[in-house]
Amino acid sequence: MTRREAARLIGASAAGLALPISARAVSESPTMLARTIPSSGEKLPVIGLGTWQTFDVDLTTDNRRQLEEALSLFVKLSGRVIDSSPMYGRAEDVIGELTAALGIRDRLFLATKVWTHGKENGIKSMERSMALLRTKRIDLMQVHNLVDVQTHLATLREWKQQGRIRYLGITHHEAGAFAGVEKIMRSEKLDFLQINYSLMEREAEQRILPLAQERGVAVIVNRPFGAGDLFGKVRSKPLPDWATEFDCQSWAQFFLKWIVGHPAVTCAIPATDKPDHIEDNMQGGVGRLPDENIRRRMVEFVSSL
């Protein structure tokens, strides 16, 4: 069962949900929920777009058309945050070329990373990212996986003062690194933290997410679907009837709404290159979110499958 088929099955229970996801998302133009960046007060939509693997492609005629459609739809449905990295192969270059061709750069919040050792290497890497992304200013620059973190944070503070970046942060994608993440969060002033958090990887809620709230750090969530493993867990299984209580119409929305239902989370960034998945994912930031009691029920339900 595909994500779209699952959404259609759930939608059959109510006339207002009877349309396929694509028709419903585009025709109704729903308002995306937004969260505030603590360090500035600026608001960001709670669903963004990751680019790992999905945008690491050669731009053939066919995939260029598909990626342009996906990006155009993402912006049309109120998306802003697009996250990339030098370690994602051609993704920065593809994002830069397509957003420039579509004329949507000014509507986006571009985030990328520095992932190397040494101050000069870091500067060269970040300048290359700017060139590939076709921009003179990056909205968010992050130290990827804490590599040479102190060296790069010093540079990022300088660049922020100079206006070359708007925000700075750190990232990791493994719970085993959370001790190091916590240490940096306590010792440095950060605007953003990007970490893994999902119904399959809940370790961040123990110490990292509460600390982010305490320290006034915005949180971007990567691996929201557990690298796709969550879809394998629920394959061929229907959504619970009570998912309608928080305006949920697909498993993708179930997983995303659980994440952004946590008050510390600013934005989740599922990676996809498919327009129909963009439409589905964006609905995860629309309508009601599960409260803490329902979020616990969601954990219990998925754990029982």
46/109 Cα distance (integer angstroms): 12
Name the DSSP class of 30: P
From 174, 171, 266, select the one nearest 218 (Cα to Cα).
Answer: 266
Q: How far is CA 62 from the centre of its chain?
A: 25
209-250 per-position pLDDT tens digit: 999 999 999 999 999 998 778 999 999 999 999 999 999 999
CA atoms within 13 A on the CB side of 175: 13
Name the DSSP class of 206: T
Rg from Cα positions in the chain: 19
Strand partners, 169: 142, 192
36/262 Cα distance (integer angstroms): 13
Strand partners, 195: 221
From 164, 172, 157, 151, select the one nearest 85 (Cα to Cα).
Answer: 172
- The predicted model scores a pTM of 0.90
217/274 Cα distance (integer angstroms): 31
How many other C-beta atoms lie within 10 A of the C-beta of residue 212?
A: 24
The per-residue pLDDT for 31 is: 87
167/111 Cα distance (integer angstroms): 9
The per-residue pLDDT for 103 is: 96
Q: Which domains does the chain have, with CATH numbers?
A: 3-303 (3.20.20.100)
From 114, 87, 108, select the one nearest 170 (Cα to Cα).
Answer: 114
Q: Is the pLDDT of residue 74 over 80?
A: yes
Strand partners, 36: 43
Q: Is the pLDDT of residue 14 over 70?
A: no
Contacts 24+ apart (CB under 8 A), 16-23: 17/249, 21/249, 21/250, 21/276, 21/279, 21/280, 21/283, 22/275, 22/276, 22/279
The per-residue pLDDT for 195 is: 98
The per-residue pLDDT for 20 is: 36
The per-residue pLDDT for 168 is: 98
Average pLDDT over the chain reads 91
The per-residue pLDDT for 230 is: 94
Q: Is the pLDDT of residue 86 over 90?
A: yes
Q: At what angle do helices 178-187 and 208-215 cross, to 10 degrees?
A: 10
Q: What DSSP string describes 220-263?
A: EEE-TTTTTHHHHHHTT-PPPGGGGGGT--SHHHHHHHHHHTST
199-211 per-position pLDDT tens digit: 999 999 999 999 9
